[in-house]
Amino acid sequence: MDLSKHKFKADFKKMLTEVYSMGLKESEATEQFFTLGNLIRSYIAKNWSKTNQAYIEKKKKQVYYFSMEFLLGRMLKSNLLNLGILETVRDGLGDLGIDLEALVQIEPDPGLGNGGLGRLAACFIDSMATSEIPAHGNGIRYKYGLFKQKFVNGYQVELPENWLQNGNVWETRKMHAAVTVRFYGHVWLEHSGEGHLVPHYEDAQEVLAVPYDSAVIGFDNEIVNTLRLWSAEVPPQDESTDYWSFIHQRNEIESISEVLYPDDSNYEGRLLRLKQEYFFVSAGVQSIIRHYKKMHLGIEHLAEKVAIHINDTHPALCIPELMRILLDEEHMDWEHAWHLTINTMSYTNHTIMAEAMEKWPIEMIQTLLPRIVQIIHEIDRRYVMEMGRLFDSKLIQSTRIVEGGHVRMAHMAIIGSHSINGVAQLHTNILKEKVLHPFCLIYPSKFNNKTNGITQRRWLMLANEPLRHLIDRKIGNEWATMPTELKMLKAFREDKRTLQELAEVKHQNKVRFARFVDQSMGLEINPEAIFDVQIKRLHAYKRQLLNLLHILSLYFKLKDHPEADLYPHVFIFGAKAAPSYTYAKQIIKLINSVADLINHDPDIHDKLKLVFVENYGVSLAEKIIPAADVSEQISLASKEASGTSNMKLMLNGAITLATLDGANVEIKEHVGEDNIVLFGLRADEVYHYYNEGTYHAHDYYEKNQVLHRVLNALIDGTIPGAEAEGNAIFDSLVSYGDEYFVLRDFDDYAAAQGRIDRLYRDPLIWQKMALINIASAGIFSSDYTVQQYASQIWDVSSKVHRI
Ligand code: NBX
């Protein structure tokens, strides 16, 4: 948008007076932040309603991205950037004596997600608005986001994250768009006069779903899409309601949107979780239908104008819910309704881990959602009957929805969608050939790949301004919306000056991060050292342990040979563990205890440091990623569906140290073998071990001296404070089979780390690798990912940039 500094300053002062009745001098950062937020809202108001109107008037097909999680991060700078007024506002505020960065800190980081899946949804809505895709997010407005992590004595302690405490400046409560969601009670079907069955409900609990809308601003294009998050409230009461029963009901109802489940693998608080799933699905689908009807096209054309995307199986109840509305409220016949439903729905799978595959006991759905369970049974019955004619009964049994008293959500999502995609090529292949192979025999054409992506605007333009300016100087700024233009940087691969400038940018970012570590943890780290970063949820399969065992081996090497030629290293971890995931929490404690040991050992000086940052999330990622030299992507091959921190780190010039897992495989293809450091088992080798049953972890403990020493350190008191954890972890590796082949890959990993150490010593070689990584990262922009979803899955228009 066009905005002069002069006008901005006048607007800002006026808004401050209007909202707070304050002059500039009396105001503090909090008032200034909310003033700026309100001003931004006023700037976009016109385009927001214009966008919505245009979608209706032009009868545009619209996409609704259903996700239990949107891990947005702070929105202030992102909104300013996309509006094209970041520099004007920064300057203008500067003139008024206000530091924009100070206001940025006021905004809470809304942690409405666990990890990659939630962050992907956030990157997607940014990219969809920028790519001019008529698309909106649909989710839950959790009162409490993902827990705040504290380390107490090295243990993870979880604290509530009350992100709404001071209000959310970006949202608008839309009371007129509220809908009712029904739970519990009894339902029976009766013939209506017009010849169809209509359901009658008795004793149902009614919950009011109130939407809060936030603007999703496209980059430099006047598009404003919507993120709609639902909050659960008590419906208006009549006068006969008893006060105490009201209070009781209110607590029960409001708990539905109270808290995000801090678990990215298994299921807990199960009934409440199921309520959450149905709550936002039902509210979302009802509101889509209401909105669709404004186009006056007739319900039979729904799939031509609406696409609903199911982000993992959590929103899979969309399928029976849309069926319910089409059958019960629109009085369609089954075949017609089912055809429409399949054509409307599409589903992304994010994991092959069996324990993360959602299953709900049928009696739980029966109690909570009596009409939905009837529909699920009918979908299942028809599937068995119709497919039973075409395929053998074993195949049908293994793929049907209802089995062993459970509803298998992935099966429902696959049967009820026209498209199923994995999130990286390797992952999609594993789905097709192994995990979902039976479905692939039945519906081969439904399966496809959409490799994940990240938005370069947040993860480079905003998070790494020094690098952004360097790139702009070299190749211009078209990469903001045409990210493969970054490849033009390759012309500078032999240009010493550019490589030197790149080194200076990295150094500057490392100094900044070192200062942060010093201030927040009281730990000094040397910016000349290699900053080696592993940031992601703590999970056994991601193998933070492999990293840790190697750090211990370096420590012992330095203890035995203080003169050893090791380039100084700072190993940086950021990770939250699900509160109920004991093993992951033991690993956290062990890492913290090893950090204490190493960081306080005077023999080590600054050759080796271990930093475990507390409360890793989007805001911390924005600080760490620009400062990283090495990107640890070391999951056991086949287990990490894609990974997205791998993409963010490469975009910021870190060298990937990786197994051939998830999107690492594609990163390798794009940067070439010389610009990535690979090690470890390949996915096919892992499957081979499974088939043959020939992995014996204990042998590695016995035969590998370095490993033997490192593993013994876990149980012989070398690491003070983590005796119990050390023992448990030792057992998991040595005695109980080492499920994720940590010991098998150890030597190869250590050798790969040795290569990193050598490469880093030659700054020209290293910076050239960094440059090629940055130049090759454009293809991993979520702009391209969503454009492919738009054309290949959703069949909606988008502004497509050729790659
Ligand atoms: O989704 C992650 C995968 O592990 C990554 O490989 C992938 O890059 C990313 C985006 O596709 N999965 C993930 O983050 N899952 C969850 O957070 C999750 C949350 C709740 C739950 C199950 C999984 N019940």
At 69-120, the pLDDT tens digits run 999 999 999 999 999 999 999 999 999 999 999 999 999 999 999 999 999 9
| Residue position matching structure tokens 């448990």 | 728
Q: How many Å apart are CA 466 and CA 341, to the nearest integer?
A: 48
Residue 266 has pLDDT above 90, yes or no: no
List of residues 6+ apart from 768 with CB closer than 8 A: 493, 494, 499
Q: How far is the CA of 120 from the centre of ligand 1 (A)?
A: 9
| Mutate-to-test residue for ligand 1 from 351, 618, 639, highest number of ligand atoms within 8 A of CB | 351
**What spacing in Å lies between the alpha carbon of 282 and ligand 1's midpoint?**
23
Full DSSP string of 371-418:
HHHHHHHHHHHHHHHHHHTTS-HHHHHHH-SEETTEEEHHHHHHHT-S
CA-to-CA separations, 592 to 343, 532, 597, in angstroms, rounded = 50, 16, 9
Cα 350 to averaged position of ligand 1 atoms, centre (Å): 6
Structure tokens at 111: 């942690």
Task: Put residue 182 in one of left, alpha, beta given phi > 0 → left and psi -120 to 50 → alpha.
Answer: beta
Q: How far is ligand 1, taken at its centre, from the CA of residue 115, in Å?
A: 6
- Strand 402-403 versus strand 148-152 pairing type: unpaired
What are the angstrom distances between the C-alpha of 34 and each of 41, 120, 161, 496? 10, 27, 20, 46
Nearest residue by C-alpha to atom 24 in ligand 1: 264
Residue 263 is predicted with a pLDDT of: 77
- Between CA 38 and CA 49 the distance in angstroms is 16
Of all protein residues, the one whose alpha carbon is nearest to atom 12 of ligand 1 is 117
3 state SS of 616: coil
Q: Which residues line ligand 1 (CB under 6 A)?
A: 114-117, 120, 263-264, 350-351, 356, 423, 452, 640-644, 662
Measured by CA distance, the residue closest to atom 5 of ligand 1 is: 643
**pLDDT tens figures, 383-431:** 999 999 999 999 999 999 999 999 999 999 999 999 999 999 999 999 9
Instruction: Please state, in angstroms and as integers, the Cα–Cα distance from residue 320 to each residue in 273, 426, 727, following that order.
Output: 17, 31, 48
Quick one: DSSP state of residue 357? S
What number is the ipTM of this complex? 0.99
Answer whether 620's CB lies under 8 Å from 613's CB: yes
Residue type, 34: F
CA 741 – CA 636 distance, rounded (Å): 7
**Which atom of ligand 1 sits closest to the CA of residue 113?**
17
* Closest protein CA for atom 19 of ligand 1: 264
CATH 3.40.50.2000 describes domain 456-681+747-780: yes
Position in ligand 1 atom list of the atom nearest CA 662: 6
Query: Mapping DSSP to helix (H, G, I), strand (E, B) and coil, where does residue 32 land?
Result: helix
Calculate helix-pair angle for 705-713, 742-760, nearest 10 degrees: 100
What element of type H or E holds 588? helix 582-599
pLDDT at 803: 66
Average pLDDT over residues 117-145: 98
Q: In ligand 1, which atom is closest to the CA atom of 423?
A: 11
Q: Residue 358 CA: which ligand 1 atom is closest? A: 24
Residue 520: strand, helix, or coil: helix
* Confidence check: pLDDT of 198 > 70: yes
DSSP states along 291-315: HHHTT---GGGHHHHEEEEEESSTT
Q: List the structure tokens of 381.
A: 């019955």
Average pLDDT, the chain: 97
What percentage of the chain reaches a pLDDT higher than 70?
99
Q: Tell me which residue has its CA closest to atom 16 in ligand 1.
A: 264
Structure confidence by residue, pLDDT tens digits, 468-520: 999 999 999 999 999 999 999 999 999 999 999 999 999 999 999 999 999 99
Q: What is the pLDDT of residue 240?
A: 81
User: How far is Cα of residue 82 from the mean position of the Cα atoms in its chain?
Assistant: 21
Nearest to 36 by CA among 103, 102, 112: 103
Name the closest-CA residue to atom 18, ligand 1.
264
Question: In which band, very low, low, confident or very high, does the pLDDT at 799 lie, cut at 50, 70 and 90?
Answer: confident
Which regions of the chain carry the CATH code 3.40.50.2000? 59-74+109-452+786-794, 456-681+747-780
Ligand 1 centroid–CA 533 distance in Å is 20
**In the numeric block, which tokens belong to residue 246?**
């009201």
- pLDDT category at 192 given cuts 50, 70, 90 is confident
**Measured distance CA(453)–CA(459) in Å, rounded:** 11
Return phi, psi of residue 198, to 5°.
-125, 140
| Nearby residues of 620 by Cβ (< 8 Å), 6 or more positions away | 535, 574, 613
Which fold would CATH assign to domain 59-74+109-452+786-794? Rossmann fold (3.40.50)
pLDDT tens, position by position, 169-190: 999 999 999 999 999 999 999 9
* Exposure string over 645-674, b if 16+ CB within 10 A, otherwise e: bbbbbbbbbbbbbbbbbbbbbbbbebbeee
3-class SS of residue 199? strand
Copy the structure tokens of residue 755. Answer: 């290569």
Ligand 1 atom at minimum distance from 261 CA: 20
Of 309, 350, 359, the residue with max ligand 1 atoms within 8 A of its CB, to mutate for a pocket test, comes to 350
- Ranges of H-type helices in 25-135: 29-57, 76-83, 86-95, 100-106, 116-130
Give nearest CA residue, ligand 1 atom 1.
Answer: 117
Q: What is the pLDDT of residue 238?
A: 78
The Cα 527–Cα 803 span in angstroms is: 36
CA of 52 to the centre of ligand 1 (A): 31
| Residues forming the active site | 350, 536-537, 542, 644, 648
User: Looking at ligand 1, which atom is closest to the CA of residue 640?
Assistant: 6
Mean pLDDT of the 451-463 span: 98
Q: Which one of 259, 263, 264 would you pick to mutate in the ligand 1 pocket, going by the greatest count of ligand atoms within 8 A of its CB?
A: 264
Order of strands, sheet of 569-574, starting from the edge strand that comes earlier in the sequence: 608-613, 569-574, 530-535, 630-633, 655-658, 677-678
Q: What is the distance in A from the centroid of ligand 1 to the CA of 576?
A: 13
Atom of ligand 1 nearest to the CA of 641: 6
pLDDT band (50, 70, 90) for residue 237: confident
Please tell me the total number of residues recorded for the chain in this structure.
803
351 Cα–ligand 1 center, Å:
7
Query: Per-residue pLDDT for 436 more than 80?
Result: yes
What confidence category does residue 195 fall into, taking pLDDT thresholds of 50, 70 and 90? confident
Q: Whose CA is nearest to atom 22 of ligand 1?
A: 264
Query: Strand 608-613 relative to strand 569-574: parallel, antiparallel, unpaired?
Result: parallel
Which of the listed residues 66, 70, 117 should we mutate to test ligand 1's pocket, taking the one with most ligand atoms within 8 A of CB? 117
Please tell me the distance between residue 137's alpha carbon and the centre of ligand 1 in angstroms: 17
Which pLDDT band, with edges at 50, 70 and 90, does 246 fall under? confident
- Angle at the Cα of 756 from the Cα atoms of 752 and 761, rounded to 5 degrees: 150
The set of residues, in sequence order, having a beta carbon less than 8 Å from that of 656 and lying 6+ positions away, is 630, 631, 633, 646, 649, 650, 664, 667, 671, 676, 677, 773
| Among protein residues, the one whose CA lies closest to atom 21 of ligand 1 | 264
Q: For residue 786, what are the contacts with CB-CB under 8 A and spacing of at least 6?
A: 124, 127, 128, 131, 133, 135, 453, 798
